[in-house]
Amino acid sequence: MELYKLTVHEAVDLINKKEVTYQQIVQSALQQIHEVDKDVKAFITLTDERALEDSRQLDAVKADEEGLSVLAGIPFGVEDNICTQGVRTTCASKMLDNFVPPYSATAFSRIARQRGVLMGKLNTDEFSMGLTTETSYFHETRNPWDLNRIAGGASAGAAAAVAADEVFYALATDTGGSLRRAAAFCGVVGLKPTYGMVSRYGVISSGSSMDQVGPIAKNVKDCALVFQAIAGSDKADPMTATARVADYVGALADDIKGLRIGLLRECFDKGIDKDVKEAVLNAAKTLEGLGAHVEEISLPSVELAPAAHCVILSAEVSSNLGRYDGIKYGYRVERCQDLDDLYKKTRTQGFGDEVKLRVMLGTYALSAGNYERYYLQALKVRTIIKAELEKAFEKFDAVVLPTCSTTAWKFGDKVDSALAMFLADKYTAPASIAGVPAITIPCGFDVNGLPIGMQLMGKPFSEATLLRIAFTFEQNTDYHIKRPAIDWR
């Protein structure tokens, strides 16, 4: 049996029935990684020996009939901007090439405490800045559906590894749509939680007012299961103080009768691929057919979200990346004249061009004379967007929109730049700017057979409702079952 193809729930069933061992599950996933990752290149660091040892220990415990959590023994991966104690965490940058964190991110610790089995660290764009992993210091991650195409960015490694059945699920981060875009491009499920639902402790800071950790999974049920494990307040991240956790797995009813769903008109007017438009509109019809009340909605201010997001993110990045000085950790240039020279040479050699551009953009937006025009103005526009969404959520339980305007493009087709990122973020930036939750689920395929993602946004802390809508859609469609052919082996 090809165990690596199972979902978390299916694997747990087999383990409980004693039909398979933890070692068999982990070995199967490792075999798949060895088979496909030379082409997909989802991983930066493999922790295969540790994974095998973990599974051996779990089998020994299970023999003693000790109760284990549902995520115990299930192979997973972690985007390489989430700290894992003792396991190299690079942020896909030369700057952190040799960084071994002395502590773990809370989201990772919570899975580790349930004895999930870490398979390794997954590729991303350098400091999560990019759309394609072309800015990664290490390599590009390729889309399992078509190796000539991008798998998204920044969370491409996470999404591609799940889509290629290398891991059962992954933890990734989302600051402006990274997690959702990659999940959509790879035909898997991705959830960006409400800001403050998942601790940012141990997540290498990018845009601190928007950074969130979320799951990428093969289906909605697995997504809910992983989210349940990582959500909730954490003393180490004061932003999580007001987090309200619900029973997400219990919320997965195949029933959306009477729910009110808004269809975001602005997304379907211009600049969207025909196939994407058709698939998402069809998906909205499916939701209507399942008993939801679907109605068009207009939110004019969301058009401003990418610009506001770009400025806020750059400003926060320029501040957060000030810590890379070559002294406490990370890359350090060998020869320098004085301290200032050490800083300059270290940062010039340690960071790639995209990171430098972002940092300078943020420095510009925060500098005297520009602060009001750019940064302060972006924060005011954020207020307008947030208010408009709040008003929409008085009337609607969720808003439907595409996750991306296109499907995955070929490497080299678009230049990876802050400007391209700005345009690609147009459907994902609103949820990040307003801090509301959003989920992407597969809802169709384009003419080239590439997956299309539908996005559902909800009000703060409405993850249970979003998961329920996504689950109902999934139960009544089969887009999530189709996997990449992987016939290029």
Partner 1 sequence: MEITVKDVEYLAEAAKFEFTEDEKQKFAQALSDVINAVDVLAQTDTQGVQPTIYVISVKNVFREDEVLPSMDRDILLKNAADVQDGCYRVPKVVE
Residues that bind partner 1 (CB under 8 A): 98-100, 102-103, 195-196, 209, 235, 238-239, 241-242, 304, 307-308, 310-311, 318, 326-332, 336-345, 347-348, 351, 356-357, 359-361, 363-364, 367, 373-374, 376-384, 386, 417-419, 422, 433-435, 460
**Sign, CA torsion 134/117/99/36:** negative
8 Å CB contact between 30 and 48: yes
Q: Residue 238, SS3? A: helix
DSSP per residue, 134-190: TT-SS---EETTEEEEE--SSTHHHHHHHHTTSSSEEEEEESSSHHHHHHHHTT-EE
- For partner 1, the closer of residues 64 and 340 by Cβ is 340
Write down the least CB distance from residue 283 to partner 1, Å: 28
Rounded distance between C-alpha atoms, residue 448 and residue 15, angstroms = 38
- Cα–Cα distance, 111 to 103 (Å, whole number): 14
Which two tokens mark 441? 């689920």
Residue closer to partner 1, measured from CB, 16 or 242: 242
Q: Which residue in the block uniquely carries the two structure tokens 């939701």?
A: 287
* CB count in 10 Å sphere of residue 355: 24
CA distances for 146 relative to 33, 161, 410, 484, 487, angstroms: 17, 14, 9, 8, 10
Name the residue nearer to partner 1 (CB basis): 246 or 376. Answer: 376
Choose between 57 and 370: whose C-beta lies nearer to partner 1: 370
Amino acid at 204: I
CB of 2 to partner 1, least distance (A): 40
For residue 327, the minimal CB distance to partner 1 (Å) is 5
Nearer to partner 1, 345 or 483 (CB): 345
For partner 1, which is the closer residue by CB, 267 or 359?
Answer: 359
Residues in Cβ contact with 402 at an 8 Å cutoff, skipping those fewer than 6 apart: 267, 272, 276, 277, 280, 427, 452, 453, 454, 455
CB of 256 to partner 1, least distance (A): 27
CA–CA separation, 433 vs 425, rounded Å? Answer: 11
Report the nearest approach of partner 1 to the CB of residue 128 (Å): 17
Closest CB to partner 1 among residues 281, 376 = 376
Which is nearer to partner 1, 241 or 485 (by Cβ)? 241
Question: C-beta of 78: minimal distance to partner 1 in Å?
Answer: 19
To partner 1, the closest distance from the beta carbon of 237 in angstroms equals 9
Residue whose CB is less far from partner 1, 67 or 102: 102
Which of residues 103 and 488 has its CB atom nearest to partner 1 in the complex?
103
Between CA 21 and CA 28 the distance in angstroms is 11
Closest distance of CB 313 from partner 1, Å: 11
Nearer to partner 1, 31 or 85 (CB): 85
Sheet containing strand 260-264, strands side by side: 43-46, 117-122, 75-79, 169-174, 212-217, 189-192, 438-445, 451-457, 398-402, 260-264, 293-297
CB of 344 to partner 1, least distance (A): 5
Residues in Cβ contact with 372 at an 8 Å cutoff, skipping those fewer than 6 apart:
none
Shortest spacing between CB 205 and partner 1, in angstroms: 14
Q: Is the peptide bond before 398 cis (omega within 30 degrees of 0)?
A: no
Q: How far is the CB of 300 from partner 1 (least distance, A)?
A: 11
